[in-house]
Amino acid sequence: MLYRKARLFSRSSALVTTGLLLAAGFALARPEFHPGEIWTDTGGNPIQAHGGGVLVHSNVFYWYGEDRTPGTRGGVSCYSSTNLYDWKREGTALPPESLPRVDGHSTFVERPKVIFNPRTKKFVMWMHLEQWGYRFASTGIAVGERPAGPFTFVKAIRPNGNMSRDMTLYLDDDGKAYEIYAARDNYDMRICRLSDDFLSATTTDVIIAGDHREAPAMIKHRGRYYLITSACTGWAPNAANYYTADHILGPWTGHSNPCRGPKAQTTFEGQSTFVLPVPGKPGAFIFMADQWKPRDLPNSPCVWLPIQIKGDTLTIGWQDAWSLNWFDQQPK
């Protein structure tokens, strides 16, 4: 009996100790980004926000992207977060059935981006609107009353008659908004100022470069503009490059691959989609990319990595795991 009590006590003590250790472990655990790994939302499902971008509104982050959930195709998803690590699925911001049919054929969305218009109080989404065969090459525009949607599709355009494929939006600190887009079968990277309501393209439209690039992602730091792009190699990854300018309409200067570390020559097996300025951390930017898996697009991982800018040089270094504290540890 004494032996049995001793065993029970020992087992109970071990369970308590294990529990305390687990509790301590959870208490000490810090949230981290794990580039290239499947990232799940708060419901435990893989995040479906491919080719996406992030809007910050009322201290909440909204992540929009291509919803490639198995069984669906063509719509835009929305996730929300207050810390950039944990994302709650808000639902479908723009359902595929709301997209237009053109010449009897359906359309689908790639690379959706959303900005807020303080004048109209509307959330405005621009996207690459496409059909099978990639000859439609247009921009789709939608509006919403709330950041999570639902958004209402407004129209499809070709800015100033130009093809528009991979694209992003940029809202400058003077309140002017721009579309940066791949035109002329991706041989031209163009930038076009939007109308004051953000619902149309203006004729202020210039070529940034004519060297066959796509997947634009723009930031501004200390008055200088930086634009990261990808080469055009289909689904296969390639070396990124970037351009700089002192004025948003140029002239722009090209620079070589900013990536450093394992697989830097293939942009860490990824392709740029957006650069996120971190609120409250001046000079802190997160590079967002997709590791496309053409045979399993729903499980294409995302890659989030910190950007470092020193002088005129922008670099993106590989990290197996990292947190926002990384920015606080860098020399100013």
Angstrom distance (rounded) from CA 207 to CA 188: 7
Q: What is the mean pLDDT of residues 235-260?
A: 98
Strands 259-260 and 313-317: parallel
pLDDT at 261 over 50: yes
Q: How many domains does the chain have?
A: 1
Confidence of residue 231 (pLDDT cuts 50, 70, 90): very high
Angstrom distance (rounded) from CA 324 to CA 227: 22
Residue 70: per-residue pLDDT: 85
pLDDT at 246 over 60: yes
Residue 201: per-residue pLDDT: 98
42 and 86 Cβ atoms separated by less than 8 Å: yes
Q: What is the mean pLDDT of residues 190-213?
A: 98
Residue 101 lies in a domain: yes
Residue 24 lies in a domain: no
pLDDT at 224 over 80: yes
Amino acid making up residue 266 = T
Residue 16 lies in a domain: no
pLDDT at 21 over 80: no
Q: What CATH number does the domain containing 131 carry?
A: 2.115.10.20
pLDDT at 247 over 90: yes
316 and 258 Cβ atoms separated by less than 8 Å: yes
pTM of the model: 0.91
Residue 5 lies in a domain: no
pLDDT in tens, 190-200: 999 999 999 99
SS3 173: coil
Domain that holds residue 81: 48-327
Residue 29: per-residue pLDDT: 53
- Percent of the chain scoring above 90 in pLDDT: 88
What is the rounded average pLDDT for all residues in the chain?
A: 91
Confidence of residue 331 (pLDDT cuts 50, 70, 90): confident
Residue 111 lies in a domain: yes
304 and 261 Cβ atoms separated by less than 8 Å: no
Residue 42 lies in a domain: no
Structure tokens at 159: 């800015």
Alpha-carbon 26 to chain mean position: 29
SS3 45: coil
Q: What is the mean pLDDT of residues 80-96?
A: 97
Residue 62 lies in a domain: yes
Query: Which is higher by pLDDT, 316 or 330?
Result: 316
Structure tokens at 221: 């730091």
